[in-house]
A and B are shown apart, each in its own frame.
Chain A
């Protein structure tokens, strides 16, 4: 399998704090990588550096078959390359409906210019129809088809999470970065979410999944990456990582806590 994402010696400092310290990581096409680590380990900062939200202090990010460098790109350019993401604290578009949120996510897949949009020329109308259908399909996939016309931010928290995923999918990415999609969900919702993530992987989408809960990330991940204090301290199959003494020490604190997490 070819490499889709290559993070090379990525470092990010905030003043004196080193949020990411020389992180090197590669993700293969179609892989589902679980990214875990204690609070403040740098997981979200890593996503921010990959998606252009934060410029890295040093190091590089390469993406795709051509190994194009993402370093120095603005977030919308990174998205154009085929990287989509969700956010730890939901960031939905508050004045748009559920359906329109997903349609807004499909911006890159539509092309109507100023004049055809303002005059509502036939091509713009057809495209609008297409975007609407596509968005409805995606909402069906995440189980929100009944709530298309509701205000996005009036949805219950768990459903907002799924809407964020549908919105990110609308750009038809090849890499999806999910920032703690399971946070704040109850066990049933979490199971549904895992099934959804499993389906995405089944369609060949490459996913990096940040998750706090070891028990959630372990069964779905092909590989698990453990960040602690900005450094990668372990990479490998879930079972191996689970037994890694450094992970147990840094992330779980003690052997008894590791039993509890299982």
Chain B
């Protein structure tokens, strides 16, 4: 076989593979769109929160998965986004759609602001600094009672409203399904952008930093700058998730944003495979729904949850989709 024809057949398998994955994506999208018709309100509620987790996992994947920065305070970014929109809504009467961009911006800037001092230290120390940041933010929101309502929570956050042709102004209200669609849309957009980024020069540079920071720097990759970029983007995604969460709940309290949330989101990213976009989504959907699926086991529920995580990590330490990225390439020859 000549090399040209082997490259050709390689291209064909790559094409049929990409066709297959495109078909899978379309089927999943149709399925996801149809779910609220089939499932009851409780299931939709569970799925919506799993999708918010997926948004967070996608954001944290940019930081931990791509650049390899172990971030243990990611819940703080989520909290900042939620309180930013919450306070704009409660005190400024800002509509949701106007409140989202500043929430993302504030959370993104917070991510960069945390990164500037935190990225001076490495490894375990960096993890401790981010952990501390997470706690500081949560405690600050608890203590700034006059603005945040403290432990009682910030009440009366506005739900999104959408003008629909023929139906007039539609308020998202307290039902889950509008939030389900909104979050699904956000997950798809963020996942799509993440995949594209991961295959760009920036994505390669991020992975290079994760694999070998010194070698990356010696290739001219500005390590600190790109890590800060990932922190900012990751923060903005959490800000988006936070704003949706706040709008959906109508009330937010600081204990929704505790250390366990940071750990759970990290577990989702690790379970899915560090740096894998579909892995982050799948990890979030599995870990987000598993505690509910295991409800039948009553008080053994969290035990089984923990056990299943241990078993998965024992069998696939690289996560569902981790490890070397097999991808098709357009051959130059």
Contact = CB atoms under 8 A, between A and B. Distances in A.
Interface string B305-327: 00000000000000000011111
Interface stretch (B118-126, B216-224, B293-301): B216-224
Contacts of A96: 204, 207-208, 211, 325
Interface stretch (B75-83, B178-186, B192-200, B255-263): B192-200
B197 A118 contact: yes
Q: Is the interface of A mostly helix, strand, loop or mixed?
A: helix
Interface residues of A, number: 53
A133 B326 CA distance: 19
Contact of A95 (B215, B323, B333): B323
A61 interface: no
Nearest to B229: A114
A135 B333 CA distance: 11
Which interface class (under 10, 10 to 19, 20 to 34, 35 or more) fits B? 35 or more
Contact of A112 (B201, B208, B222): B201
A85 B215 CA distance: 9
A103 B204 contact: yes
Contacts of B167: none
Given A87-B215, A107-B220, A112-B202, A117 B197 contact: yes
Nearest to B3: A146
Contact of B208 (A75, A93, A124): A93
Contact of B219 (A118, A135, A167): A167
Contacts of A114: 197, 202, 229, 233
Interface string B202-215: 11110110111011
B332 interface: yes
Contacts of A53: 214, 217-218
B208 A148 contact: no
Contact of A136 (B205, B219, B332): B332
A112 B200 contact: yes
A108 B205 contact: no
Contact of A74 (B217, B219, B329): B217
A51 interface: yes
A107 B219 contact: yes
7 residue pairs, one from A and one from B, having the closest CB atoms: A79-B220, A117-B200, A136-B332, A75-B217, A133-B332, A108-B220, A91-B215
9 contacts: A79-B219, A79-B220, A84-B219, A96-B208, A97-B329, A100-B204, A104-B219, A112-B202, A124-B200
